[in-house]
Amino acid sequence: MANLSTKPTDHMAFIDYYKTLEVSKSASADEIKKAYRKLARKYHPDMNPNDKEAERKFKELNEANEVLSNLENRAKYDKYGENWKNGEAYERAQQQQSQQNHAYPGGGFSATDPGGGEGFSDFFQSMFGGSGSGFGRNSQGGANGKFKGQDVSAELNLELTEAAKTHQQTFDINGKKVRITIPAGAQDGQKIKLKGHGNPGINGGPNGDLYISFHIAEDRDFKRDGDHLRTSADIDLYTAVLGGDTNIQTLEGSVKLKVKPGTQNGTTVRLKGKGFPLYKKEGEAGDLYVTYQVKIPTNLTDAQKELFQQLQNS
């Protein structure tokens, strides 16, 4: 069963997401992405085994990135701060109350002048966890409506060879086992949503959602370039000069490739359709680019050196 660390968005304890990612409020999307990648590597549980503080920091990074990497969520966060998830609902309530005040002059109240303690400030506290009065007093009973539960973000680490195959992963989320199928071709940083697998709703509202981000580790043999792969292969000098066959490793196993006579060091050849699978396009894949590295022979005998000298002088 896969290990998936999750973090709900807790509106009761304010976290400065910009401070968490060590960026300014004017940071670009690219700067936020780079900062998250750098810090996530530093505090990743695999790099800090049994370190509770690093684990807490890693979860905070995921939460901050989940919000700030989404343009819509970031705009809400910049506007409403810690109450960004329910800020719009609060504004709608303000508008409704304003309409009521116009309909019944003298009998209303304002956010700055509650009038008997039944102000919007109480409603705001009630909606976001405070003990309000008046309009917000029935927050547990439904006067404030039903609210969706908190979304949860998590990161799933995959090897390149895992991401290249359609396979299933099973997670333990809030005490429940959740099984998902990951299609071949998943991209690094790609997110998927599991509807209803977040935290429970408020006042009978729907559950939040679970967002899973894929992190695909660098591979020793292959470098990913979109849907293409790049690798290198050693060939000896004799094969480079005279031509011949060499075995090349692909994601699907070894294939035999013909080397043309007179192949230069650094020559790159393309193997069509032997690259990375295309996401949700069964049977389709990018290309594999192989760069030849010609190995110069060492420890030559005197006779072999003489032969090279003859070639040089011919």
In this structure, is the dihedral angle defined by the CA atoms of residues 18, 23, 28 and 30, taken in order, positive or negative?
A: negative
116 neighbors 109 (Cβ within 8 angstroms): yes
Do residues 8 and 200 make contact, with C-beta atoms less than 8 angstroms apart?
Answer: no
pLDDT in tens, 106-137: 433 333 333 333 333 333 333 334 333 333 33
SS3 266: coil
Output the pLDDT for position 121: 37
* pLDDT tens, position by position, 169-205: 887 776 778 888 999 999 998 999 989 888 888 888 8
Q: Which segment of 124-138, 158-172, 222-236, 282-296 scores lowest on mean pLDDT? A: 124-138
Using an 8 Å Cβ cutoff, are 211 and 154 in contact?
Answer: yes
Rounded Cα–Cα distance for residues 199 and 209 (Å): 7
Model confidence pTM above 0.75: no
pLDDT in tens, 229-260: 999 999 999 999 999 999 999 999 999 999 99
Radius of gyration of the chain measured on its C-alpha atoms: 30
